[in-house]
Amino acid sequence: MKVLMFGWEFPPHIAGGLGTACLGLTKGLCRQDVEVLFVMPKASGDEDQSAVKIINASDIETNFYGLNYEEYVKNIKFLEIGSNLVPYLDPETFENEVNEQQKYSSLSESISYKNKYTFSGKYGANLMEEVARYAVVAATIAKQQEFDVIHAHDWLTYPAGIAAKKVSGKPLVIHVHATEFDRTGENVNQMVYDIERQGMEEADRVITVSNLTRNIVITRYGIDPAKVFTVHNAVDFQSYSEMDVEKGVREKVVTFLGRITFQKGPEYFIEAAHKVLKAYPNVRFVMAGSGDLMNRSIRRVARLKIASHFHFTGFLKGQDVQKMFAYSDVYVMPSVSEPFGISPLEAMRSGVPTIISKQSGVAEVLKYALKVDFWDVDALADAIYGLLKYPALATMAEKYGLEEVNAMKWDGAAVKLKDIYHGICNNN
């Protein structure tokens, strides 16, 4: 079986958990004898292709083959790109991206009937333009390649998946890693919501990363429950290695690692830190990440007068993430809405006792992480205090948490995906 898969990012150049999940799934599918052609906007050449063939959309000369060109061009609206569309950029970087891309971006040159377009592959100011162009390139690729099923990851690639389905007639699977409600609460960007809903409606199957997300897809997007399936994420520890680090501080370290945005609940982490420090001053709190709430978070830490015990590292990736876990005594993920959440699995694999919000998909599969409601700052502070104060509790969470995550493999997710592929191919 061969799958034409569309994704916006792929390791080692990633901005969040989406690329990590794509790598894990493709490796798992390879072990199930499923061949994957993975199309990304801009490949760098150093991607791991041991289990997947990477197709660089920037190398493809577009050719429309009867695709309704106007359908994709008419929706290109470049000028107003809200910060919720670029969740992996801090405000300063976002402003720089806008300024630079407004200098060089020209609609009149954006799409022609025979043209190569060099994608940035980022989450910048002309993101919607790239999404539309990517769909046009996808149609060309779908006409050139042989495959059995199409698989599109996250809303950025849903138009590409739909275009590929229209020119090939092959079944479409879309993978929902997050919804607009996860990213923004109720302040949805209508354009993104519409793209998400269209992708779900056009798909033959919708894959969600948790039952929490499945419920949102059914209730908020009106999708038929019979075609929505949950396939929980996993984590790949093949590249993991034990790390010895010199801590540099005598205090214990409590870590938040993720985008500093509404979805991830950084404000609850700060308020809990303030409460913990009153009872347990021998601790430092670390917020590792960047995002549109970073400046507000820094100001709140200053107003609470806890800056001497609070550190902002900025965005971390690769080995720096592993180092941060090695420094940590407690890991906290207080997400307001988390479709799944891979970082707690990475923390637990590093032997770090972990606290997660009940409003996360990963809470469905973890027994040995402490769980609190994201809004319950007192409960969060109590959980942090308990893990810091009582070694027996921390040791139990560390030991059994490690055993638990070591049993969670991408192979299990790949088996479920392969069954779904076969199901829709046999029906077509």
Place of tokens 């790390």: 243
- Tell me the domain boundaries of the chain: 2-234+410-427, 252-406
For residue 201, which phi and psi values (nearest 5 degrees)? -70, -40
Task: Give pLDDT, residue 406.
Answer: 87
Encode pLDDT of 160-210 as tens digits: 999 999 999 999 999 999 999 888 877 888 888 999 999 999 999 999 999
- On the 0-12 / 13-18 / 19+ scale of CB atoms within 10 A, 282 is exposed
- On the 0-12 / 13-18 / 19+ scale of CB atoms within 10 A, 227 is middle
Contact call for residues 152 and 303 (beta carbons, < 8 A)? no
Task: Give pLDDT, residue 124.
Answer: 66
Beta strands (DSSP E) in 149-269 are 149-153, 172-176, 205-208, 228-230, 252-257
Domain 2-234+410-427 has CATH 3.90.600.10: no
Task: Give pLDDT, residue 15.
Answer: 66
- Closest Cα partner for 213 from 264, 177, 187? 177
Whole-structure pTM value: 0.81
Residues in the chain with pLDDT values less than 50: 65-67, 69, 72-95, 97-98, 101-113
Give CA–CA dist 85/200, Å, rounded: 19
Establish whether domains 2-234+410-427 and 252-406 are of one fold: yes
Give CA–CA dist 377/272, Å, rounded: 5
CATH topology of domain 252-406: Rossmann fold (3.40.50)
Contact call for residues 286 and 313 (beta carbons, < 8 A)? yes
Name the H helices within 89-126: 91-104
Helix or strand or coil: residue 2?
strand
Helix or strand or coil: residue 57?
helix
Radius of gyration of the chain (CA): 22
Contact call for residues 91 and 261 (beta carbons, < 8 A)? no
